[in-house]
Amino acid sequence: MSEGNAQLSLAGRVAAFHSIIDACEMTRRGDDSIIELEQGMRAAMEMLLRVREHSRGVYVVGNGGSASVASHMVTDLLNVMEIRAYAVHDASLMTCMANDYGYENAYARILSGVAREGDLLIAISSSGRSENIRNAVHKMQALGGETITLSGFDQANPLRALGDLNIWLDSNDYGFVEVGHQFILHNMIDRFAVK
């Protein structure tokens, strides 16, 4: 097996994925201090519980593969937590808003019409550089909502500094980052499903 094929072997990819998840970093807005992973997961769960207790909503945004992760998270929020949750990427709505206000403002424009104070935004961007995702975070915060961001790639990506809770994976591989985000979000919801 060549060196390139060895790096793509299932065992090699499993080991690499394990190290990426193990090195996951969580931070809070305005504070570069790394939060211990379980403490960060508890903080995210507390945010979700507040939403449920106060009958608020959760909005989840992402582009491309991250939009798929967003859709799956909405399914889990509705099914497991019985929270009003919405993936904000309906094709007709997105293309309308992108056409009328620019793609970089599409999510923010949608949120301005539906989100309310006390709602939660989960913003997913593998690179952390997607302007439309960052603008959505700014909009939710301006509306008085909370935000959780998930990103990867560059440690200093701009999304990583914006959320009330920021989850970052140290990888430049889209597959690892997208699957890692899905894994973390699934783990979060699975904790609510344990009876």
Residue type, 55: S
> pLDDT of 6-49, one tens digit each?
667 999 999 999 999 999 999 999 988 999 999 999 999 999 99
Cβ–Cβ < 8 Å for 100, 51: no
Is residue 17 a part of any domain in this protein? Answer: no
Domain hosting residue 118, numbered range = 24-193
The enclosing domain of 147 has a CATH number of 3.40.50.10490
Is residue 139 a part of any domain in this protein? Answer: yes
**Buried/exposed code over 13-36 (b: 16+ C-beta within 10 A; e: otherwise):** eeeebeebbeebbbbeeeeeeebe
Query: φ and ψ at 87, to 5 degrees?
Result: -90, 125
Is residue 10 a part of any domain in this protein? Answer: no
- Total number of domains constituting the chain: 1
CA atoms of 36 and 52, how far apart (whole Å): 25
Is residue 3 a part of any domain in this protein? Answer: no
Give me the residues paired with residue 60 across strands. 87, 122
Query: φ and ψ at 164, to 5 degrees?
Result: -65, -35
> pLDDT of 102-154, one tens digit each?
999 999 999 999 999 999 999 999 999 999 999 999 999 999 999 999 999 99
Is residue 179 a part of any domain in this protein? Answer: yes
Instruction: Please state the pTM of the whole predicted model.
Output: 0.94
Query: Which residues fall within 8 angstroms of residue 140, CB to CB, at 6 or more apart?
Result: 59, 111, 115, 119, 120, 121, 146, 147
